[in-house]
Amino acid sequence: MVVYKKVMPPHRIALPEVTLCAATSINLKATLRALECCLDQIAFADCLLFTDAEIQPEHPEIHVIPIHKLTSVADYSDFLLSNVVDRVGTSHCLIAQWDGHVVDASRWRPEFLEYDYIGAVWPHFQDSHNVGNGGFSLRSRRLMEACRDPEFEVSHPEDIAVGRINRKWLEGRGMRFASPALADTFSAERRGNPRESFGYHGVFNMPAVLGSEEFWDVYKELDNYNTIRHDFMGILTDVGRGAGGFGRVCKMLVDRFSGNKIKSR
């Protein structure tokens, strides 16, 4: 496993055209950490955390926006498609989740702002509609407004609704989706390389991006272990490497099979 060290430039780059946003009711500490990783390297116009939890972030640039509890993927999709734009006053919004964030801000390209949607490429789709993943994505405000149009077909997950189901409709209204090649420079998920992209998404990438020990710090603070279920075996292999790996593997196996999948806040 190659560890991609987080780059800390001496001065943050300024992106006054971009609002950093996350919306969640689970894995709150991990979400805060992901936002902080972005803020470490970039000065955004604003940083908004939409959540039902009563929390006071230590980072002064994270502003909490109270919302109703998001209890499902459909809830999250509906909220992202319908509500987030009301609080975004910039031309673009960078969506982050607990398992994805900026890796190296020096890889930011001004041309990203020429597009209405950029997310990591979906390699399992072989047609031209494979951009892309919404977990770490850049969206224009006008695209977010278009997603509230009555003609937009709402579905979940929301990134499939934007990038596939409604893509032709959105393009017909002038929206521009990044090319797969440009998307690869923006974010890595199931395809791409975090060593070469601006950011990444996917818990299965976290041990390589952060290192096993730092990922373990994130894992211990998760309140919903179901969020790593799909990629469990690959993550288990990664956390088993290095000092203390056997203990981490044992703890993950206990968590997986104990039935205690969700912890209280």
Mean pLDDT of 235-264: 84
Peptide bond into 157 cis (omega under 30): yes
Q: Are residues 186 and 219 in the same domain?
A: no
What's the residue count for the chain? 265
- The amino acid present at 134, given as its one-letter code, is G
- Give the model confidence (pLDDT) of 72-96 as tens digits: 999 999 999 999 999 999 999 999 9
In this prediction, residues 195-217 reach a mean pLDDT of: 94
Asked if pLDDT for residue 207 goes beyond 60, the answer is: yes
Band (pLDDT 50/70/90 cuts) for residue 264 is very low
Q: Looking at the predicted structure, is the pLDDT value of residue 237 above 80? A: yes
**Cα–Cα distance between 265 and 257 in angstroms, integer?**
21
Total number of domains constituting the chain: 2
* Banded model confidence at residue 242, pLDDT cuts 50, 70, 90: confident
What is the average pLDDT value for the chain, to the nearest integer? Answer: 93
Look at residue 114 and tell me whether its pLDDT is greater than 60. yes
258: Cβ–Cβ under 8 A, 6 or more apart, which residues?
none
Contacts of 58 (CB under 8 A, 6+ apart): none
Angle at the Cα of 212 from the Cα atoms of 210 and 215, rounded to 5 degrees: 55
Quick check: 6 pLDDT over 70? no
Verify that 41 and 133 share a domain, yes or no: yes
Based on the fold, state whether residues 216 and 91 are members of the same structural domain. no
Kindly state whether residue 103 falls inside one of the protein's structural domains: yes
Residues 150 and 229 in one domain: no
Residues 28 and 67 grouped into a single domain? yes
pLDDT of 265 above 60:
no
Q: Which domain holds residue 120?
A: 13-205
In a domain, 7, yes or no: no
Q: Do residues 120 and 188 share a domain?
A: yes
What does pTM read for this prediction? 0.92
3-17, 95-109, 174-188: range with lowest mean pLDDT: 3-17
What is the tens place of the pLDDT at every residue in 23-74? 999 999 999 999 999 999 999 999 999 999 999 999 999 999 999 999 999 9
For residue 149, is pLDDT > 70? yes
pLDDT surpassing 90 at residue 258: no
108: CATH: 3.90.550.10
